[in-house]
Each structure stands twice: as structure tokens, then as C-alpha cells.
Structure 1
Amino acid sequence: MRGLQDLQILVRTAERGSVSAAARELGVSPAVASLAIKRLEDELGCVLCLRSTRSLRLTQHGERFVAHARQMLASYQQALAELHPQAAPLREVLHLSMPSDFGRNLALGWLDDFQRAHPHVQLRLSLSDRLADMYREPVDLAIRFGLPPDSNLVALPLAECRRVLCAAPSYLARHGAPGCPQALAEHNCLCFTVGERLHNRWRFWRDGGEWVQQVAGDRSADDADVVRRWAVAGHGLVYKSQLDLAPDLAAGRLLRVCPEWQGEPAPLYLLCADRRQLSPTVRQLREFLRERCLALLAGRAATDSMADKQG
């Protein structure tokens, strides 16, 4: 279908910022790719790309049309999957944004497995603790802890989890373990920032009551992975999602502190701007990530249960 191929060429050109790069990936010549874009422009009656010998950028018409072109291609793949559920391989390019710690230390390995199972799926990753603007930035999906402030985004649950208070054995050997959240005022607490906000008010619950503790420390970072690494190195206490800390807890690099106090909820969501983006690829990726998260948390729960029995 020539029209679909033209749309695919346009979308890939917008993603790569180059007709030649898009042509190489799709296995066509640059001349064929240029002709496809010209054909679309003639059909639509407007300029989609401004090109020079060294650069390419989308016009305002182009930016709007590419967003619709992605949805049309996703709808076509979904139709194929419904007609031939066993025969149609997943084929899609997904731009995925996720938190730094979760992305580097958990999701990268999981996504390797996903792409081995679906070799025609291409992923473009952005690792940042800043929530991407999904209406202005070239991001299809975002993985984030907590519900987004923008209620217009579609939020698909991946895992229910909470923050846990932890420290390295070396830190606890030097400073002892706080017996309650109030004692955190006497400890070095490692905080991270998102935007301009420093997360230094840690919330805990016990027996139906809530306690909010203002904490301070000699280190903070805008990368939560850095904060976790500081904690593993013995520099202070960390208060993060149990998903992020599960491998370190299982290996004994970190130990739970004040386990009788419940940390604040930190549910993990897969976000997109429009339900029409929920293609077969996105749905299978969501289910794949959900299963991996649940398995990790189940392993952590088993470890906690054994630790309680030994204690």
C-alpha cells in the first residue's frame, strides 16, 4: 500500500531529522523517500518539511500531520493484529520516557527481552526524572510513579507499591538505625529533586495515624539513581519506591529501616496522551512490564517474609 508506505517514510523522517537516515532504515533509496514526502505534500496541499542540504525540520502543518500519521499507522497495525492475531508481528517505533533509576537498573534489561521477542519493535528511550510534556515533546509513552498532575493523560497501572526507608549496612553500623520517623532528624537523609522541588518531607503511616517528617542531609540530586547509589555506598538514608530498591534489598546492599511504619504510596503507571495510541504493541508492552514489576515485587515480598520469620 503506497499510501501507508508514504506515511511511514514521513514519520521516520520526522523522527530521524533526515530523509537519508529514514530511507536507510526502511530499505529504500533517498530519492524514493523524498518522492513519498513530495507526494504527500501534493495530496495535502501544504508543505510538511523544510529541507536543506544539511538539515530538515517539520513545518507547523507537518508537526500536526505527523501526529495523526502515527495514529493511522498504529490503527493499521491494530487492524492487522485483529484480522491475523497469530501471524501479524508487532511493528512500531515507540518513544518511551521513564525515570532514571527504574530505567537504567530495571527496565533496560526487561526491554532487551521484549525486543528479542518482538524484533520489529524499535524503542527510543529518554531517561529522566522530569515528566515529559507529552503534547509538545516527541514522546509516545511515559512510565512514572504516581498519578500525573494532568488528568487528561491516560494512566494505565503497572504496579502498586510504596516507598520504603532504607540504608546500607555500613551506614547503620556507624550511626545506628532510627527507631521511628521522628528520629530521622538526627540522621543524614539523601533527597532528590524533580524540577525545582526538593523531596524532603517524608510521610509515614502506622496504626491509622500519619507522620510527616522534614529531613535534611549533605547530598541531593536531580537524578534518583544517583541518590540510590549514595545510599548503597553508605552515605545516608534513602526513601524511594520499593521497586527501585528491590534488587539492593534482595542482595543485602540496603536494609529496611522502621519496617513497622508504612511508606507513602508510589504506584507505577504507563502514560499516554490519547487512548488511540493503545496499539497492540503498546498493550503487549504494558502487560509485559506489568508482569515483570509484579514478579519483582513478589520476590521482594518473599524476602521480607523470610526476614520477618528470621527476626
Structure 2
Amino acid sequence: MIALKDLEIFVRTVQGGSLSAAARMMDITPAAASASLKRLEADLGVRLFVRSTRSQRLSQEGEAYLQHCLQALELLDQGRRAATAGQLELSGSLQLSIPSDIGRRLLLPWLDEFVADYPRLQLRVQVSDRVADVFQQPVDIAIRYGNPPDSRMVALPLAPSNRRVLCASPAYLERHGRPETPADLVRHNCLCFMLSDQVHDRWRFSRDGEESLVNVRGNRIADDGETVRRWAVAGHGIAYKSRLDTEQDLRDGRLVALCTAWSGESSPLNLLCASRRQIGPAVQLLRQHLQGRIDQLAAGA
């Protein structure tokens, strides 16, 4: 019989891009993750990955099986939440700090679902792109992109393989043309994000071991990620945004991904807290809920 944990490790390997990433997300050793995948392939009698000495990618059978795994895990998660909602009565208050763009567009609706499952839990939400000080401010957890600014923080990964994507609206590209390489950005109006008075105007890309660092310029700068996204959708310039922030815009055609032969900077999404003592049932269940929704978004569900 196929074990549930083997399915989870398979899905995490695809989402994280490697066995080591899956092992970190599942808090197991890489050897245990590798054994799990081998066991799953043996149970199915097919190869889920095409492996080489330098990389691995899903096989045709793996692509087909992945969709069924995502659906099965989501159904199990729904069943778990339905079964435990009456048993585990979360109560008290949970204070969160979330970023503006993904916060307003994705996290707030997902938090509404969570509160519906646990109505006795009170959420206090701060929406801001400024990094919350979980040691000094009245915040239990913070959801943020990038590595923790303080090594004392505990980081629980939500989307470890997330990256930035270069994008613009079809209207902007029709007027100004499409950059073919990152170097072409110097001839375009770039929409910049500012955090703590520091403008992020040095955009980094990589391709086959080659690095490209471009100093960009533009006539719009904001300290709010949602504002930058709206400017891009409105056709005011080119943005360099988290893939999670722009996923739906890209699928619906409001934005177009650019220079896709190049990889944008890594932008992992983490749940941060000051101490592991704060990772109680409410935080654990919230993390599971958000991870499930992020997995669905990445799979196009």
C-alpha cells in the first residue's frame, strides 16, 4: 500500500525542485527522502523522474501522477480539517504581519477560510511590507519573502522555490517593445520597490551559471508591493515581482513574463517567529492551510 508520506515527499520534491529541498520542508534527511521516492516508484512500477548527474525532471508518468497526488492530498486535508474542527477548538489571539501584495490578494482570503474552520480564534493582522520585529512588536508570526533578517528567527518555509519574475502588460510591450535580455532593461521604464528607504533598483538574473546584474531606472517608485503590481498591470512599466504575487495576472494575460530564458532572484516565502515555543497548534495548522493553498496555486488549481 502506498504511504501518504511518500506522496507528500513526491509533491514537495517537485515543488522545491530537489530532494534536498523536500527533505528540509518535511524535516527529514535527504537519504530518507530518496528512499521514499524509490519506494513510491517501486509501488507504482514506473519512473516518476528522469534523472541525470546534474538534474532531475518529471517523467511523463510523473507529470500525470502529480495532478492526482495534489487532488488526493487536498481531499485528505479537507477531511482532516472537517474531522478536527470540532475536536480542536483553537481559541485566543494570533497576531500576524503579512506583506501587502500577496497579503491582500491571496493571504487574506485564505485567512478567512482558516477563521471559518476555527471561529473561536481571533486573528489580528498587520498588512505592511516593512519587516516586523517579532522580538519587539506585538506580533506572533510574520510572513515574509527572503531569508530572515535576524539569525535568531525561526523560519518555516511556505514557498521555498519561489522566484522573482520580470513582467509587463501587453499594452506596455506594444508601445515600447519587449526586452530580449536583462541588459535591454536600461532602455525601459522600470517600476521599483522601496523598503526602509532603500530602492531596489539592482535587478539580478542568472542563466546557465552566468550572472547578470542590471541597474534599472524608472519614473515610479513605491514602498508598497501592491502598488508596483497595479502600475505594471496598468501599463506604466516593467516590474520585477514575486511569482506568487503575479501568478494569476500572468495566467489571465494581464501581465506577460519577460526574458524567460533567465531565472529571477530567489524569493522564498517563509513564516517567521521569534522562538520555536511559539509554534503551537494554531501556527502549525495555519502553516498547513497556507501551504495547501500555495500548492494549489502553483498547480493551477
TM-score, normalized by the shorter chain, greater than 0.5 = yes
5+ long unaligned stretches in structure 1: 1-83, 301-311
Matches within 5 A, 1:100-249: 100-159=100-159, 160-249=161-250
What TM-score comes out, normalization by structure 2 length? 0.70
State the match for 1:262 in structure 2.
263
1:89 aligns to 2:89 (yes or no): yes
Q: Report the residue type matching 2:224 in the other structure.
A: D
Q: Report the residue type matching 2:290 in the other structure.
A: L
Matches within 5 A, 1:276-291: 276-291=277-292
What TM-score comes out, normalization by structure 1 length? 0.68
Q: Report the residue type matching 2:279 in the other structure.
A: L
Q: CA RMSD in A?
A: 1.4
Q: 1:208: how far off?
A: 1.2
Pair 121,85 (structure 1): closer, same or farther in 2 beyond 3 Å: closer
SS at match of 1:190: strand
CA deviations 1:107-164 (Å, max 9, x no partner) are 1111111111111111111011100111111000000001112010000000121000
Q: Report the residue type matching 2:222 in the other structure.
A: A
The size of the alignment, in residue pairs, is 217
Q: 1:298: how far off?
A: 2.0
Q: Report the residue type matching 1:288 in the other structure.
A: H
Q: 1:86: how far off?
A: 6.6
Q: 1:85: how far off?
A: 9.6
8 Å contact from structure 1 (residues 93, 122) kept in 2: yes
8 Å contact from structure 1 (residues 164, 240) kept in 2: yes
Provide the rounded CA distance (Å) in 1 between the counterparts of 2:292 and 2:258: 28
Task: Report the structure number with the largest CA radius of gyration.
Answer: 1
Percent identity of paired positions between Structure 1 and Structure 2: 55
8 Å contact from structure 2 (residues 85, 117) kept in 1: no
5+ long unaligned stretches in structure 2: 1-83
Provide the rounded CA distance (Å) in 2 between the counterparts of 1:118 and 1:176: 50
Q: 1:87: how far off?
A: 2.1
Provide the rounded CA distance (Å) in 1 between the counterparts of 2:187 and 2:85: 59
Provide the rounded CA distance (Å) in 2 between the counterparts of 1:299 and 1:259: 19
SS at match of 2:206: strand
8 Å contact from structure 1 (residues 164, 242) kept in 2: yes
Provide the rounded CA distance (Å) in 2 between the counterparts of 1:166 and 1:88: 43
8 Å contact from structure 1 (residues 92, 281) kept in 2: no
CA deviations 1:252-296 (Å, max 9, x no partner) are 100101111100100000000011111101100011111111211
Q: Report the residue type matching 1:156 in the other structure.
A: L
CA deviations 1:65-104 (Å, max 9, x no partner) are xxxxxxxxxxxxxxxxxxx997231223111001111111
